[in-house]
Structures are given as structure tokens and as C-alpha cells.
Chain A
């Protein structure tokens, strides 16, 4: 029953993003033939782009990466779209009233289950939904690519999707913790989203290794190295944030 309630509270925040992501993936796949053709015929001057600054370097990185189908999918989907949307949807799933999903908090608390049980159920379901949101559209790439005469490796899709999930889970944990502090849905959503934006700006401006590089598994794309340290660190931070949320709810007066 706890699962049923958690599902009722989050189903639209899960189903709609899932559809959005699959449509997004399908659009990217269909765009590849014309985009790939343009990229192949493009004459670039790497030195000029590098000299022009951060934007030029980003354009060069994009063109270099997208010369192959694997690179195109990694850059457009795993590095850009999925990185941003997985965080947005994870934060959305974790925001709001975690005990009742809206009205009915006292009714929830009057039922013979502990607060920890309610919260754990909601956290596990939310994380499972986040995993599906990262995994299913990425698997769809493997399935749909032959439609345009391309192939995409299942292993690549799995590794990138799981990396995206593990880092997005950290932002899920942050929004989850914030939802135990603020009663409304919007403050946790905006604050966790804001933190993600700040991190992404710092990461891109300073060209440092941060959560977004771990999320897109750029090291795996370029030389096959899974970013274990970043993944473990993300998982530890997620666990700490969820534990903080549980402590906060346990001591909360309703």
C-alpha cells in the first residue's frame, strides 16, 4: 500500500518525462542523417577555434565528437539532453510533500506505519523512476538506431545511462532533503535546480572535472574509463542527503 500511494503521488511526474525523453531520443536519431552529412562536409580550422576562447573550444569539441554516430549520440544525448533533463526530472520526482503528496499528511501519519517506512518507500520508488528515466530512452537508442541504418552498442548505452542516473540521484537526494524542510513543492525544486545550474556553470567555465563530466561519462566515451571515483562520491553524497532527510522527518513536529 505504501508503494501504491507513492506511485499515485508521482506517476504523472514519471510518465510524462518518460514520454518526453523517448520522443526526444527519437527526434535526435531521425536528425542524424542530415546533421551527420553537414558535419562530414564541414571544413574547420581548429587553431582559430581554440584561439577564439571557451565557445570556440566547445564548438570544436562538438564537431570532433559528432563526426561519428557514437559521438553524435554521446554529445547530443548523454552529454547535453539527458544530463540536463535527468537532473530536472529527478528533482521534480523528489520535490513536494513526501508523506502525502499533497493533502492528507495527518491521515498518513495516523496510519500504522513509521515515518521512515513512508519516506524509504518514496525514496526507493523515486530513485527507481529516475533510473528508468535514464535507462529506457537510452535503450531506445539501441533499438531505434537500425531504423536509420546505424548501430549503437548496448554496453555504451548502459554505462552512460547508469552514470547519468547515479549523478542525477545526488540532485534527487538534495531535493528530497529540501522537501523535508519546506512544505511546498517549488522551493526544493528551484533550489536543487539552482544548485545544478551553478555547478554546471562552474564546471564549464573552469573546465574542471565535476558531476556533469561524471554524468556524461566523458572519460568512458574518449578512452573507455568508467569514472568510478565520481560515481562512488555521488552515491555517498546521495546516501548522506537521504539519511539527512530521514533524520529531519523523524524529528519533525506535524
Chain B
């Protein structure tokens, strides 16, 4: 039976000298999902991607893509046969023309989709005879996406694909991604620190902080499970530390006591009822709030 996960990472660690880039990262990306991989700069996103693509060897732990071991040389080639990758730097061959790099890349992939190549050349207004080194950052990103999309990959790994792009170009890139995914069964692992972009396209989210996954799950599930509970008192808010298990953080400011709850809001409300607050509000939480709470706490 096929592995239900496109990406399966267990207790992954990577150390560069004294620096621990990954500290026991565990995550799964189900097949067919668009998984947003969120984290601050230096959280370990790019290192994780490099491990998955065999560019960096893990210090310990396991990283599997389509059930294949990412740190095994032979498996790594098979993983890359099925994966499209766009690096943060949009690292391409500057000396080639657009036409040369497209033909060059196509030869590595028997399932290269010529129709998609033609379509994206038109959509992205890429001129075949332009030198890659002369392309603007936005056009370079579009070319990198064309090269990733047209190879008929089962998995797209996109590392900060919109970094350095203006809002119009960013929107164009995201739209291209969404329409590509709508057209064919593909898993997307999208690294970014732009929360609005992830909210726009992803159905799953993994938040990484200091080399560990601190939040993982379906985007809707996360939105449903997280709630902000706000209590307003007639006088100064009491200095309490609720014992309910789902509380992620508590903040007391003047007459207002605010708590971010991951689950069990009813339990929290029951515990707070004796405090006799003047008003109690339970509010939905944005991904941005979940992210900030997750990466600002101590882990």
C-alpha cells in the first residue's frame, strides 16, 4: 500500500558545528495537500527542505519522501525525479537562455509536459531567447516555477517562492500555483514567513521554531480549535494562572485578562466563572496570532 504521506519526517536533527539548525523536527505532509511551512528566518525551514532533497545530510533522525529515504543517494535521485523545487534564491543557470534551460531541464524528466511549458511561457510572458542572468527577480521566479511545474512532479517544494517580489508579482505567482494544483494531483510543501500567503493557498500548516515543529495540522482545524478568551473586569484583572490544559498563553493588562486557548474552551470558561468578570468574550483567532504565540513562547 502506498505511503499516505508524501513527506514524513521523524525526530530530524541537523547540526552545523555548534549550531543546531534542526532539533528533533517531526512532521507529515499528506499526499495531495498544500502544506504551508511557516517559521521565522533561521527557524530551520530551508535546512529541512535541503535534507528532503538530499542537499544536506541529517545528523540524526529520518526524512522520507514518498517512502524513500532522503539521505540515501539512490533514493534521493528517485525523490528528485518526482519533485519540483524552487529555491529561495531562484538559483538557475545565468549563462543559459530561457529556451536552453527549459530544454535542458526537460531532458531529465520523461514526464515533461510540453503543453504546460508552452502555457506558462505565454502566461508568464517569458521570452525564449532572453538570458536567464538578465531576467528580473520576478521573471526569474516565474521561470523557476515553469521549470518546477512542467516536469510533471508529484511533489512541489517551494522555498519562499515569493521572496523579493512586489505584490502584483506575488499574486500572479500564487494564482499560478493554485491553478496548477487545481489541474493535477500534486502535493505542495510551501515554505514561507508570509502568513497571508499561506492562508490564501494552504490547507495544512506546520509552524517550525528553533528547529522544532510547534504547531501542525489542517488550517481549518487550527482555526476552529484556537480561541481567544477575553475577560473584562470592573476593577483590575485578578492575577490568576488557570490550570486548564488548553491554555497557550495568558496576558493581564489593566482590567482585561486575555487567554489564548488551543482546545477545551469550555473547561477554561468553567474555571474562570468564579472570577465574576463583567464580560466574557470568546473570539476566533487568525493564523497570524497562532503563529506569533507559537514562535514567541519558550519551547
Say how far B270's CB is from chain A's closest CB, in angstroms. Answer: 51
A103 and B80 in contact (CB under 8 A), knowing A1-B104, A109-B54, A251-B57?
no
Contact A103 B92 (CB under 8 A): yes
Which residues of B from 71 to 111 have beta carbons under 8 Å from A?
A: 73-74, 76-78, 80-81, 83, 85, 87, 89, 91-96, 104-105, 107-109
A223 CB–B CB distance under 8 Å:
no
Contact B94 A103 (CB under 8 A): yes
Size category, B interface: 20 to 34
- Bound Cα distance from A106 to B92, whole angstroms: 8
Q: C-beta contact mask, B37-71 vs A, less than 8 Å → 1, else 0?
A: 00000000000001001111100000000000000
Chain B residues within 8 Å of A1, by CB: 104, 107-108
Q: Which of A110-118, A128-136, A163-171 contacts B (4 or more CB under 8 A)?
A: A110-118
Say how far B283's CB is from chain A's closest CB, in angstroms. Answer: 42
- Bound Cα distance from A103 to B144, whole angstroms: 14
Please indicate which of the listed interface residues A8, A105, A251, A253 has the most CB atoms of chain B within 10 Å of its own CB: A253
- Bound Cα distance from A103 to B94, whole angstroms: 7
Chain B residues within 8 Å of A254, by CB: 50, 55-56
Size category, A interface: 20 to 34
Chain B residues within 8 Å of A104, by CB: 91-94
Contact B108 A253 (CB under 8 A): no
- Bound Cα distance from A5 to B94, whole angstroms: 12
Contact B107 A101 (CB under 8 A): no
Interface residue from B55, B74, B133 paired with A106 (Cβ < 8 Å): B55
Among residues of A, the one whose C-beta sits closest to the C-beta of B90 is A107
- Bound Cα distance from A113 to B74, whole angstroms: 9
Chain A residues within 8 Å of B81, by CB: 112
Say how far A7's CB is from chain B's closest CB, in angstroms. Answer: 12
- Bound Cα distance from A106 to B90, whole angstroms: 9
A46 CB–B CB distance under 8 Å:
no
Interface residue from A8, A105, A111 paired with B108 (Cβ < 8 Å): A111
Among residues of A, the one whose C-beta sits closest to the C-beta of B147 is A107
A253 and B55 in contact (CB under 8 A), knowing A101-B95, A111-B108?
yes
Among residues of A, the one whose C-beta sits closest to the C-beta of B16 is A253
Say how far B78's CB is from chain A's closest CB, in angstroms. Answer: 7
Which residues of A from 3 to 42 have beta carbons under 8 Å from B?
A: 4-5, 8
Contact A107 B50 (CB under 8 A): no
User: Given A104-B91, A112-B108, 9 other A-B contacts at CB below 8 A?
Assistant: A1-B104, A102-B93, A103-B93, A107-B92, A107-B93, A110-B55, A253-B57, A254-B50, A254-B55
- Could you show 15 A-B contacts with beta carbons less than 8 Å apart? A1-B108, A5-B104, A102-B94, A104-B92, A106-B55, A109-B53, A109-B54, A110-B55, A111-B105, A112-B77, A112-B78, A112-B108, A114-B76, A114-B77, A253-B16
